[in-house]
Amino acid sequence: MKSMNVCKTCSLSSKTVFGSLTTEESEQLEANLECYEYKKGEIIYKEGSRITGFYCVKKGVFKIYKTGIDSKPQIVAFAQKGDITGYRSVLSNEPACTTVESLEDSEVCYIPSSLIFEFIRKNSNFALSLIQLTCKELNTANDLIKDIAQKTVRERLAETLLMLDQTFGKDEEGFINVNLTREDISSIIGTATESVIRILSEFKTDGLISLKGKKIGIGNYSKLESISNSFLK
Amino acid sequence: MKSMNVCKTCSLSSKTVFGSLTTEESEQLEANLECYEYKKGEIIYKEGSRITGFYCVKKGVFKIYKTGIDSKPQIVAFAQKGDITGYRSVLSNEPACTTVESLEDSEVCYIPSSLIFEFIRKNSNFALSLIQLTCKELNTANDLIKDIAQKTVRERLAETLLMLDQTFGKDEEGFINVNLTREDISSIIGTATESVIRILSEFKTDGLISLKGKKIGIGNYSKLESISNSFLK
DNA sequence: CGGAACTTTGACACGTCTCAAATGCCGTGG
DNA sequence: CCACGGCATTTGAGACGTGTCAAAGTTCCG
């Protein structure tokens, strides 16, 4: 599944921290990239394994999760085009604390850690970008803690639907453009799969969303927002 | 409450990121520090406010929380001697995402952000230390997400007691050395105060802990660990 | 010593989980 | 291209954990 095509996505994307690199550094990055393809359901790396570089998503979507009680996964984030994963473990030099698995056929670029550390040493803007990236994720994580701890399953589901809609956009038919099972959704929220299904049915009955197979389309944003914020309680 | 005594705690403590500074930089740090005192219950900064520097705890304990539904606080971390708070907002140049409040009479050093950014620019080791600090916290936060989402209140309380014991140690009588109300504990776990009280009573009845006023002492570590990990389920 | 804040206990309602079974969907192989 | 098997989804019933409200008891601090 390895292909040695050079990838310009990473170094050129202003979304990634690599936007802080100088021209020479970008060229150096290009020269040291390795691209890989992953079929749906394949795993880049598992929790506990040693990883030796960053993975920058070129195409597709990945779910990032920790394994909890009874091997039940807890999804803590997603990664799609332009997102980087694996950086936490590389930078803190610890085993991977999450598992990364593709939700569809995907491609990623691998950037060896030696190169990353060289950039950090030489380019303080790059270091600062990395710092800001982790700080942003830290804040997101803290918000999630608050939400999970204080909101009901119903509220969290409403919020999660809005988050998914915003993160992945819509397909031609207006459905959220990501391929998640009901079980995946329950792993985001931290609840039973059946609870997700039941509340989704309610939302549909109330005209808030439309369902077609496993696809979900949001019909009434403001009401979902109200529910997610508990204004209706 | 401001006192201009220079503080050696920050720059000398190997626990903090300031351990990565050179000798000259440490001196520069010392020269620019400002120390403040906070009485029990006082607030360093509130969620949403602009903060202009790091706060390094010299003495005492602070709770760090986000305000959620119905103004209910959600504690996401603590800070005690050698810990730094405020860095996330400073580094990502955003308003504070948490409120920091002292649990006892405390002292902190304030380090202006201009100095921090100068150190980042000049000293890649310092930048790397900061990166690793945020990465570590990010992992902690992700673990917390998994725990809150998947564990019962009972399990989380057991886990929280062990965490508090490890974080704050014991006083002369063997009780956990931190001054938390039952409500504070419920704000860590994300549950009702009454639930905390009820389960604490059970734990006491089962001989796992001892209670004296609001103080809590752990008697049976291994059993609490079992409960927190759901091995007994 | 008094009052406010905190802790404790009880009763009850409700949300959510678990278990079970039926149905629907989809990819694989014949 | 269809049939099959397996996996995902859906629905129902019942049990259990947890939240809410109320009231009494206790501790802490001025």
Asked whether the CA dihedral A131, A134, A136, A139 is positive or negative, the reply is negative
Which residues of B fall within a CB distance of 8 Å from A149? 68, 74, 148, 189-190
Q: Collapsing DSSP states into helix, strand and coil, what is residue B83? A: coil
Q: What is the DSSP letter of A53?
A: E
| Confidence band for B65, pLDDT divided at 50, 70 and 90 | very high
Q: In this model, does residue B66 exceed pLDDT 70?
A: yes
Q: B66 touching A, CB under 8 A? A: yes
**Which tens digits make up the pLDDT trace of B16-42?**
789 899 999 998 998 999 999 999 999
Nearest nucleotide to the CA of B192, by C1', is D19
- Tell me the CB-side half-sphere exposure of residue A207, using CA atoms within 13 A: 1
Q: Give every CB contact of residue A7 below 8 A, 6+ residues apart in sequence.
A: A30, A33, A35, A56, A58, A109
Topology (CATH) of B2-148: Jelly Rolls (2.60.120)
CA distance B7 to B175: 30
Among A131, A132, A154, A157, most B C-beta atoms within 10 A, so best to mutate, is A131
CA distance B13 to B100: 22
Residue B188 in tokens: 């860590």
Helix (H) or strand (E) holding B54: strand B53-59
CA distance A123 to A119: 5
Burial readout B102-118 (b: 16 or more C-beta within 10 A, e: otherwise): bbeebbbbbbebebbee
Nearest nucleotide to the CA of B40, by C1', is D29
Which residues of A fall within a CB distance of 8 Å from B226? none
Residue B192 in tokens: 């009702």
pTM for the full predicted model: 0.89
User: Among residues A1, A25, B69, which one has the least CA distance to residue A11?
Assistant: A25
Distance B62 CA to D26 C1' (A): 26
CA distance B88 to B182: 28
**Which tens digits make up the pLDDT trace of A137-186?**
998 998 898 889 999 999 999 999 999 999 999 988 889 999 999 999 99
- Are B128 and A120 an interchain contact pair (Cβ–Cβ within 8 Å)? yes
Which bases in strand C are touched by protein, i.e. have an atom under 7 Å from a CB? Answer: 6-11, 15-20, 25-26
Burial group, residue A205, by CB count within 10 angstroms (0-12, 13-18, 19+): exposed
* For residues B12-18, average pLDDT: 73
CATH class as words, domain A152-228:
mainly alpha
pLDDT given for residue B233 in this prediction:
32
Question: How is chain B split into domains, by residue range?
Answer: 2-148, 152-228
CA distance A104 to B14: 45
User: Among residues B57, B55, B67, which one has the least CA distance to residue B104?
Assistant: B57
Q: What is the DSSP letter of B51?
A: -
- Tell me the CB-side half-sphere exposure of residue A40, using CA atoms within 13 A: 6
**Looking at chain A, how many residues does it have?**
233
**What ranges make up the beta strands (E) of B187-229?**
209-212, 215-218
CA distance B46 to B65: 9
CA distance A111 to B12: 35
Phi first, then psi: give them for residue A34, nearest 5 degrees: -130, 135
pLDDT given for residue A13 in this prediction:
65
Residue that has been written with the tokens 């670029």 in this structure? A109
pLDDT tens over chain A, length 233 residues: 444 445 666 666 667 789 899 999 988 998 998 999 998 889 999 999 999 999 999 889 999 999 987 788 999 999 999 899 999 999 999 999 999 999 998 999 999 999 999 999 999 999 999 999 999 999 899 889 888 999 999 999 999 999 999 999 998 888 999 999 999 999 999 999 999 999 999 999 999 999 988 899 999 999 999 998 744 33
Give yes or no for a contact between A47 and A97, defined as CB atoms under 8 angstroms apart.
yes
Q: Give every CB contact of residue A30 below 8 A, 6+ residues apart in sequence.
A: A6, A7, A8, A11
Among B146, B160, B186, most A C-beta atoms within 10 A, so best to mutate, is B146
User: Among residues A168, A110, A130, which one has the least CA distance to residue A19?
Assistant: A130
Number of residue pairs across A and B with CB atoms under 8 Å? 136
Distance B227 CA to C19 C1' (A): 24
Q: What is the DSSP letter of B19?
A: G
